[in-house]
Amino acid sequence: MLLLNIRIFPLATMFYTTYALLKNKTCELQGGVCSLNTNDHQSTCVTLPYTCGANKVCCKNGMGGKPKDENRKGTVCYCGQANIPRIVGGEEVKPKNKYPWMARLSVKLGKFMSSCGGSLINNRFVITSAHCVYDGNKSKYVKPQQVKVILADHNRFSTSDDVPGVTRTVPVSRIIPHENYDHSKFDHDMALLRLKKQLDLLAYDEIKPICLPQREGISYKGYVATAIGWGLMDYSDQSSLPDVLLEVTLPILSQRKCRRYVPSGFPVKSTMICTGTTAADVGICLGDSGGPLAVTEGDTYTLVGMPSATFDCGQPKTADVYVRVSKYIDWVKDKTRDSKWCSLPP
């Protein structure tokens, strides 16, 4: 990290950065992390009595406050960029935080907690499945204070993989479900979560948005997509929830094949997209709802779907059904007019 700073910064800044890093060791050697000194009441810093550089405080590891300016990666943010060097049957995502748009949702339903996935799409909004924020027992949507969004997470049962000062839990100020969502038919299964505080998308590699489709007409039939989530690994074993984020690659089916693979009578509509395979033990399952189904176009990841329904998790010749994101671009843009979007990579 120090070598990276030396390469980028001019000599005067390099000296100050080196000096500051040496001073920071006092805090870091005691298990803390140095963060900007801020009186912001929303800061998550739990202070420790150890030494940091000028205008900084020592925070409990993983409890840093505002993003630090020296962590900025540039002046223009781009969407859909995975952190790579160049789920049933799924493999652990490596490297950790490879997909910086991945959000974990924790939803309080009475005495229970429900878990879903979501995708960061800009500095203020996470997109997910509407059924993730719908309380079926009460036939109504949950309140914003019942939902927490966790970003830059990998192992949900441990903080050992958290990125100090980066991994964070963000409260939600507003839930915007699609007006035509039908809980009984999985139709228009989409919702937007407005975060209480806007994110600085230039601050960290581990928190970046995914791109949305640029046009409605593309079917993505024949594309190989990536689904990621913390869903069950074995439907017959309700305790088979993974600790870590998993990923699996799945082919996108034509609408005709999708209709053959879903149970008779299930309405596969143009607003839905499907994946499926002839292999066993490969697919999405309970707990993967709301998470991203993404395709790569060049080096850029584009969000094409979010899980709505699955049948016999991971069984061959069955289809998983997702909401087709490309059908809702105008709706998303209309509901997120007060937010800032990252650019498509050049």
Q: Considering the domain boundaries, does residue 343 fall inside one?
A: no
Q: How much is the mean pLDDT over the chain?
A: 78
pLDDT above 70: residue 134: yes
pLDDT above 50: residue 48: yes
- CATH number of the domain encompassing residue 318: 2.40.10.10
What pLDDT is recorded for position 315?
Answer: 74
pLDDT above 90: residue 243: no
pLDDT above 70: residue 15: no
Reported pTM: 0.76
- Spatial CA neighbour of 211 closest among 325, 95, 97, 323: 325
What pLDDT is recorded for position 73?
Answer: 56
Q: Judge if 229 and 282 occupy the same domain.
A: yes
- Bridging pattern class, strands 168-177 and 191-195: antiparallel
Q: Judge if 297 and 269 occupy the same domain.
A: yes
67-106 pLDDT, tens digit each = 333 344 567 899 999 997 545 555 666 778 899 999 999 9
Q: Of 16, 45, 65, at which residue does a domain stop?
A: 65
- Catalytic positions are 131, 189, 289
Q: Considering the domain boundaries, does residue 42 fall inside one?
A: yes
Query: What's the whole-number mean pLDDT along residues 267-285?
Result: 81
Query: What's the whole-number mean pLDDT along residues 309-315?
Result: 75
Higher pLDDT, 19 or 252: 252
Q: What does the alpha-carbon distance between residue 5 and residue 25 come to, in Å, rounded to a whole number?
A: 17
Q: Mean pLDDT lowest for which of 29-38, 118-127, 167-176, 242-251?
A: 29-38
Query: What's the whole-number mean pLDDT along residues 215-232?
Result: 86
CB-based burial, 82-102: b 16+ in 10 Å, e otherwise:
beeeebbbbeebeebbbbbbb
In percent, the amount of the chain with pLDDT more than 90 equals 47
What pLDDT is recorded for position 145?
Answer: 97
What pLDDT is recorded for position 42?
Answer: 32
Show the CA angle centred on residue 111, arms to residues 108 and 114, nearest 5°. 40
pLDDT band at 137 (very low <50, low <70, confident <90, very high): confident
100: preceding bond cis by omega (within 30 degrees) = no
Q: Judge if 45 and 105 occupy the same domain.
A: no
Q: Judge if 233 and 270 occupy the same domain.
A: yes
Count of structural domains, the chain: 3
Structural domain that includes position 290: 224-326
pLDDT above 50: residue 127: yes
pLDDT band at 114 (very low <50, low <70, confident <90, very high): confident
Q: Judge if 291 and 193 occupy the same domain.
A: no
